[in-house]
Amino acid sequence: MEFDQNCFASYKGKDSAMGFVNGHIYEVVVEQKKHGCELSAYFDTTNGHDFVREKIPYANEKSLQHFWNFEGGIQ
């Protein structure tokens, strides 16, 4: 996965109040920011519906990877 490009990631955290479900695969974009990362989820591929949540902040790549599984890691 590269920054600023659409990719697929599975959510591996507990089901969240934001609507993320453990094990579901989402189409996401991760932006690298000065003080961490921001994730935007656009589509829940598991259920086949739009899922727009923009600019969810994470302190760093390690915290992002704690909740999300990216094929090939983050580059």
Q: State which residues form the domain around 59.
A: 7-70
The model carries a pTM of: 0.81
Match 């955290």 to its residue by tokens: 13
- pLDDT reported for residue 38: 94
Q: Supply φ then ψ for residue 67, to 5 degrees.
A: -105, -20
Residue 23 forms part of a structural domain: yes
Q: How confident is the model at residue 3 (pLDDT cuts 50, 70, 90)?
A: confident
Q: Per the structure, how many domains does the chain have?
A: 1
User: pLDDT tens for residues 22-70?
Assistant: 999 999 999 999 889 999 988 888 888 887 776 899 999 899 999 999 8
- Of 18 and 59, the structure prediction assigns the larger pLDDT to 59
In DSSP terms, 46 is beta-bridged to: none
